[in-house]
Amino acid sequence: MNDDVYIIGAGIHPFGRTDGRSGRDQGVFAVREALKDAGIEWGDVEFAYGGSAAAGSADIMVNELGLTSVPFINVSNGCATGGSALAAARNAVAAGACEIALAVGFDKHPRGAFNAKPAEYGLPDWYGETGMMLTTQFFALKIQRYMALHGISRRTLGLVAEKAFRNGTLCDHAWRRSPVDLDTILNAPMVNDPLTKYMFCSPAEGAVALVLASGKKVRELGADAIRIASVAFRTRPEGSFEVFAPSISVNGGGKPTQIASRAAFEMAGIGPADVDVAQLQDTESGAEIMHMAENGFCADGDQEEWFANGWSEIGGRLPINTDGGCLACGEPIGASGLRQVYENTVQLRGRGGDRQVPNDPRVGYSHVYGAPGLSAVAILER
Amino acid sequence: MTMLAPIAPGLWTDEAEPRLIGGRRGDGEIVFPVPSGDAATLVEPVALSRCGTLWSWTTQGFEPKEPYSGPQPFQPFLIGYVELPGEVIVETRIVDAAPADLAIGMPMTFAVVAFDDRRSTYAFRPERQP
């Protein structure tokens, strides 16, 4: 048994579009970066977990990385692929099955909105045929109601995107590296009311790899280690409102994000006020706003004041999505959740450069959400 | 309308004023549509109310990819959720309205409408003022 598990290496392949390089090759690139960062060789990795949603199996990477007979488990868990790989790798080290494990996620999606197939989600064909099976609609429907109930303005939706693109200009792994001003965001073509083109992230490409190790290995290697205080992954509870829902209960219900968040805080023995930097799922502007409350960082409706005062800016009271989030990085599904953990690792090590959160952040929080209603939270501590 | 075939069987009742068909589970919770396969044996079909209130809404301004099979050229449409009090909140097309007409909580009425020149689907529209 290893009580504590640490991240000792973090590697990323820049997000965006890399023509001529497969998703898996981007994964191999990220693994090599992570190994270099950890100061170890591929042969030192005793267990590996990884996957993608649309770019094939991860275990084939051994062809490029080396045929070391390492046990390599393919993870295929939709938007939670990266989070699941991280949770599994952490558990392998915690259980004492190995001292060094790898988690890798990568992807490469075609341009345009994701087109989901109804049967794969246990839904009837007519649901897709009539044009109701779009993830973008769900986010619009959720924020439309949230805005009406909690007094969130369209301007605040725009400020979320403006912040994302501004942070993206400071981040070398971001896809969108140019600022976009508030008027342009608000006046852009409407995708699904109230969300305009600039308020949505796009499917993209990219890869992230993390090397995990036991405390014993950290001491042996003298690694620049960040402790994984907790990882919690939850599917949806009864009565929740999720993507791809032909009906919702009138009785209401819980949310997978709230449940995962509470479990992660409990496991880490800390609360939202202890967090110094957060990466929250921002599939679109409204998601970041709602996830601030669902993760316990503010009350419903307070986001209006947060954005008016810049409290979630780098340098604010709780910097959120310091690398520009999904809005600036795009969303390669298999890699997206691990990108958040990568960014927190960078921030806690003080290697953020122009986007470094000031005052030596100690606690980093990351949250991924996806279809068909699942959420994974990881808390890192320096 | 009589020429059009429903987009799928079993979504609404065949009567002068059709109603959506939901499935009541053992715990009283109602779901829509009635589940298929083995799960269908766990619910009792129940005709739902024709009247509800708007729970949320959005526009669909771009043409969805497959399996969307709507009429060509693409016409933007409205979708939303309508709460049928005490029953269930259903996702639905919204017809005979513009975004500016819509407000969460407004009364809505059920309708069966043309989907394309062959098929009909279900929708809700703002309740007509007397």
The per-residue pLDDT for range A272-305, each reduced to its tens digit, is: 999 999 999 999 999 999 999 999 999 999 999 9
pLDDT at B24: 97
| Cβ–Cβ contact A16 with B under 8 A | no
Confidence of residue A116 (pLDDT cuts 50, 70, 90): confident
Q: Of the candidates B58, B67, B104, which has its C-beta nearest A117's C-beta?
A: B67
**Do A144 and B68 make contact, defined as CB atoms within 8 angstroms?**
no
pLDDT at A170: 98
| pLDDT value at A111 more than 90 | no
pLDDT at A246: 96
| pLDDT value at A117 more than 90 | no
* A44 SS3 class: helix
| Cβ–Cβ contact A188 with B under 8 A | no
Of all residues in chain A, the percent with pLDDT exceeding 90 is 90
What is the ipTM for the molecules in this complex? 0.95
| Pair A26, A205: CB distance under 8 Å | yes
**Do B59 and A124 make contact, defined as CB atoms within 8 angstroms?**
no
How many structural domains comprise chain B? 1
Alpha carbon dihedral A271, A275, A278, A281, in 10-degree steps, equals 0
More confident residue, A254 or B3: A254
| pLDDT value at A113 more than 80 | no
The per-residue pLDDT for range A64-78, each reduced to its tens digit, is: 999 999 999 999 888
Tell me the CB-side half-sphere exposure of residue A252, using CA atoms within 13 A.
2
DSSP at A362 = -
**Do A130 and B32 make contact, defined as CB atoms within 8 angstroms?**
no
pLDDT at A121: 87
**Do A249 and B88 make contact, defined as CB atoms within 8 angstroms?**
yes
The per-residue pLDDT for range A175-232, each reduced to its tens digit, is: 999 999 999 999 999 999 999 999 999 999 999 999 999 999 999 999 999 999 999 9
Q: Of the candidates B31, B86, B115, which has its C-beta nearest A130's C-beta?
A: B115
Confidence of residue B2 (pLDDT cuts 50, 70, 90): low
pLDDT at B81: 98
| Pair A382, A352: CB distance under 8 Å | no
| Pair A101, A92: CB distance under 8 Å | yes
**Do A142 and B56 make contact, defined as CB atoms within 8 angstroms?**
yes
Q: How far is CA A154 from CA A187, A236, A257, A284, in A?
A: 11, 28, 24, 13
| Pair A17, A174: CB distance under 8 Å | no
The verdict on whether omega for the bond into residue A194 sits within 30 degrees of 0, i.e. cis, is: yes
Residues B87, A248: Cα–Cα separation, whole Å: 10
pLDDT at B129: 66
Residues A286, A305: Cα–Cα separation, whole Å: 15
Alpha carbon dihedral A20, A23, A27, A30, in 10-degree steps, equals 50
| Cβ–Cβ contact A351 with B under 8 A | no
Q: Which amino acid is at B128?
A: R
Residues B44, B32: Cα–Cα separation, whole Å: 12
| Cβ–Cβ contact A117 with B under 8 A | yes
Q: Compute the nearest-CA separation of A194 from chain B (Å).
A: 7
**Do A125 and B67 make contact, defined as CB atoms within 8 angstroms?**
yes
Domain extent for B116: 5-126
Q: How many CB pairs under 8 A join A and B?
A: 112
| pLDDT value at A357 more than 70 | yes
CA-nearest residue of chain B to A243? Answer: B91
pLDDT at A360: 97
